[in-house]
Structure 1
């Protein structure tokens, strides 16, 4: 798909240099207010502990979402939507790198962020190639690497927060990532790039919903969102399990994962706000990791 390759190469030339600069000086400000399927949290000058865990965890999801959209393009499955998701996810990833850079003040988190930036450069180059079966397989190997690095950084921020509630923010954020991971692996299998371990992610997602539901941080507002997520999950899970027409399942996975993502994103933001209250933190008095 020459259009994708050309557009992503343009984005790579324009943005990667800016990302590296932003991470070095932690001063890049988002420049676009284009509509996105996911809400963008208000940006403060320095992120607090809850926001750092939330937004670092979002990097995991965005890496998976890019890989999912790339595989979806290879399948020629709702290609306009997939193209939009790929471009949007790259933009959001780059904005998050700049945001997290303002809070990664300790050597371990700064080093972790630098590693992510280097991996993302390689990932963006891979995603700029035509979405063939072989290129999707190669890109997905980089997805796994980038997600693992973001996982490590989120865990580092969680540890520095030093309150049990931080774990719930990270778990909820991981659920957000799993919604995209399951779709990515499902599409990779449809391309013939191996079955992928959808089952492991499926079981983890189901079990973690129970963890969130029983958490002391789960307010009535959060419980309503969990109930919505459970309903969305039932539909998504049926498609993942292959109950029905294969072509229909592909389309259902493509749509249901995005609905579930939106709900899990809202849940994670709600938990992040609760953590902010628990810590009694202010933008000028941050657990910087």
Structure 2
């Protein structure tokens, strides 16, 4: 097994410089939670359920970063924030079940999401001391992602509006930003496998294609166009970082650029959600 002391570690000066940027980019809960205070609509539910996809990968990414000692204090903060967001999303979507808003199948899927996140919480509750632990957490995160994708698609179908797909698609980009970074860190932790490498390449291709799809859709405002342009720029920075060797500079670059890209894609998803909300009334 690869021990923690054998993996690349960021220098203290670099940690202090980038930690502030990372934590600032990760403050997503207040905006999300504020939206939860309003009555749950289909557009918001798609966004909430879609966030579960990203949160599964975000938790695994933060866990691996703690193992690698890449901005470890900030990684702990991100893990805590992700857990809070899971709680908020679960609570708000459960209200839809209690009011009879969602079909029984959606309710069963939401319960399964909570079950899978509980397992992921348990697996990431103590620091990893070997590569096998972060690999196991990643595999559990992937199982959580599968059910989160299923419930997102189920709610998307309830909307019966073409623009609902845009909310889900933009939201999926949040997940891809986190899974790409997670797999980069898994490689740095010597957890290399053909599956990880294939997923890195496939996810990068998916992200590029989704940006093109979003840019070509007629549902567009000045704010959406501006955010799409920014997303394209941030993607170039992130893609460049992913191509770097997994040394001190590469680890730092992936940590910071993945967070900035996540923030941009979250804002873009919210803009599409607002557009869908206008359509649905």
Which category of TM-score, normalised to the shorter sequence, fits these structures?
A: 0.7 to 0.9
Does residue 118 (structure 1) correspond to residue 108 (structure 2)? The answer is: no
* Two-structure CA RMSD over aligned residues (Å): 1.5
C-alpha contact 1:68 1:187 (8 A) present in aligned 2: yes
Does residue 212 (structure 1) correspond to residue 214 (structure 2)? The answer is: yes
C-alpha contact 1:73 1:83 (8 A) present in aligned 2: yes
2:181 to 180, 183, 186: 183
- Identify the structure with the greater helix proportion: 2
Residue 239 of structure 1 aligns to a residue whose secondary structure is helix
Q: In structure 2, how many angstroms separate the alpha carbons of the residues matched to 1:163 and 1:36?
A: 31
Instruction: State how 1:81-92 maps to structure 2 within 5 Å.
Output: 81-92=74-85
Alignment-derived partner of residue 3 in structure 1: none
Alignment-derived partner of residue 201 in structure 1: 203
Residue 103 of structure 1 aligns to a residue whose secondary structure is helix
Alignment-derived partner of residue 222 in structure 1: 224
1:149 to 147, 160, 169: 147
C-alpha contact 1:129 1:135 (8 A) present in aligned 2: no
The 10-residue stretch of structure 1 (40-49 or 78-87) with the greater mean CA deviation from structure 2: 40-49
Residue 96 of structure 2 aligns to a residue whose secondary structure is coil
The alignment covers a number of residue pairs equal to: 245
Shift, 1:37, TM fit: 1.3
Cα distance change, pair 218–45 in 1 and its aligned pair in 2 (3 A): closer
Instruction: State how 1:1-289 maps to structure 2 within 5 Å.
Output: 37-38=27-28, 39-40=31-32, 41-44=34-37, 46-104=39-97, 105-132=102-129, 133-195=131-193, 196=196, 197-242=199-244, 246-280=247-281
Shift, 1:194, TM fit: 1.8
**Structure 1: gaps (5+ residues):** 1-34, 281-289
**Structure 2: gaps (5+ residues):** 1-24
Shift, 1:163, TM fit: 0.9
Q: In structure 2, how many angstroms separate the alpha carbons of the residues matched to 1:45 and 1:85?
A: 25
C-alpha contact 1:62 1:89 (8 A) present in aligned 2: yes
Shift, 1:120, TM fit: 1.3
Q: In structure 1, how many angstroms separate the alpha carbons of the residues matched to 2:172 and 2:246?
A: 29
Shift, 1:103, TM fit: 2.2
Q: In structure 2, how many angstroms separate the alpha carbons of the residues matched to 1:258 and 1:85?
A: 10
Q: Deviations over 1:98-138 (max 9, x none)?
A: 11112242111000001111111111110012223111111
Q: In structure 2, how many angstroms separate the alpha carbons of the residues matched to 1:245 and 1:268?
A: 30
C-alpha contact 2:241 2:250 (8 A) present in aligned 1: yes
C-alpha contact 2:49 2:151 (8 A) present in aligned 1: yes
Shift, 1:235, TM fit: 0.8
C-alpha contact 1:62 1:177 (8 A) present in aligned 2: yes
Q: In structure 2, how many angstroms separate the alpha carbons of the residues matched to 1:250 and 1:182?
A: 13
Residue 218 of structure 2 aligns to a residue whose secondary structure is coil
The 10-residue stretch of structure 1 (222-231 or 194-203) with the greater mean CA deviation from structure 2: 194-203
Q: In structure 1, how many angstroms separate the alpha carbons of the residues matched to 2:132 and 2:47?
A: 33
Q: In structure 2, how many angstroms separate the alpha carbons of the residues matched to 1:96 and 1:42?
A: 11
